[in-house]
Amino acid sequence: MKKTAFSIAATAALTGAFATGVSADEYKVNKGDTLWSISQEKGVSVDKLKELNNLSSDLIVTNQSLKVSGEQQEQQSTYTVESGDSLYKIGQDFDVSVDNLKEWNGLSDSLIYPGDELSVSGQASSEAPQTEETSSNESSEESTEQTSTESSNEESSSSEEQSSQESQEQTDSSQDTSNDVIKEVNVEATAYTADCTGCTGVTATGIDLNANPDQKVVAVDPDVIPLGSKVYVEGYGEAIAGDTGGAIQGNKIDLYMQDRGEALDFGRQNVTIQVLAE
C-alpha cells in the first residue's frame, strides 16, 4: 500500500568554529558523527548541545569542537512515570539519554509503567538504599522500646496496607499494558511526520493524522507485522500498526511523530517492537 506521510532521517551538518585543542568538556567531531550520535555517547540531549554551542540547525562538520557539558541548574533527581510516558520523552524532558536512564534504573529494556519512580540524574539509585537502611535501623531501635503486642499489631496493620497498595499498583500496571505479547521483533526504526508538501496526512489504513495528531502510529511491513495490530515499541509506547511505506521492508518500522524536530532528533535506532493481543 502507498504510504502518504513523509519519512525523515536525521542528517548532520552545521557550520561552526574549528578548534585545535579539545578539553574534557568538549568533543571533536569525527567523520560520520551527528548531533544525535554525540548526544547518545555523551548523555546529553540534542537541544542541550545546540544550546551549549549556539547552533540554529543540526549541521556539524568534521573536526569541529563542540561543548558537551556546561553549568546546569539544580534539577530533580527522580521522576514518577505518568500514563503515555516513554523513556525517549522523559530523556528529552530531563536532557539525558535513553541509555543513561536504563543504566541508572537497572532497566534491560525500555518498558516502563505509570507509577514507576525513575532516577533522572544518576544519584537517586545510590542514595535511596542508604536512606532506607537508616530509616529501617531507626524504626528497629524505636520498636524495641515498645511492648511486643503493640509492635506486632502495628507491623501487621502496616504490612496489610502496604500489601494492598502494591497489589493495586500491580493491577493498575497490568491493566495499562493489558495485552499478552504475541510476537517480538528487533527492528531498525526511523521517524516521520505528516507535515510535508503534498502529504495528505492519511495513513494506509485510513487514520487521519491531521485530525488525530496525538495518535501513535507505526508504519510496518505487513508481511512482518499485520496492519491494524496493536503494538508496543521500545521507547515509543503503545501504538497502532496503521501505515506502510516503500522503504519499510522487512525488519524496519517508521514511527509517526507530531513534531518535526522530534522526528529529526530521533534519527535511526535499533529497537524492539512487540505485537500485542487484542
- Superfamily of domain 78-119 in CATH is LysM domain (3.10.350.10)
pTM for this predicted structure = 0.40
Domain 181-276 is of which CATH architecture? Beta Barrel (2.40)
Q: Tell me whether residue 276 is exposed, middle or buried, using C-beta atoms within 10 angstroms of its C-beta: 0 to 12, 13 to 18, 19 or more.
A: middle
State whether residue 183 is helix, strand or coil.
Answer: strand
Q: Tell me, which fold does domain 11-67 have in CATH?
A: Membrane-bound Lytic Murein Transglycosylase D; Chain A (3.10.350)
The answer to whether the 11-67 and 78-119 domains have the same CATH topology is yes
DSSP symbol at 202: B
Number of helical (H) and strand (E) elements in the chain, helices listed first: 7, 11
Domain boundaries, the chain: 11-67, 78-119, 181-276
pLDDT tens-place values along the chain, 278 residues long: 444 444 443 333 333 333 334 445 788 999 889 988 888 888 888 888 888 888 888 889 888 888 887 544 445 688 899 988 898 888 888 888 898 999 999 999 888 999 999 998 876 444 443 334 444 455 555 555 554 555 555 555 555 666 556 655 555 444 444 458 888 999 999 998 887 777 788 898 989 888 888 899 999 999 999 999 999 999 899 999 999 988 899 999 999 998 888 888 889 999 999 999 87
Q: Tell me whether residue 184 is exposed, middle or buried, using C-beta atoms within 10 angstroms of its C-beta: 0 to 12, 13 to 18, 19 or more.
A: exposed
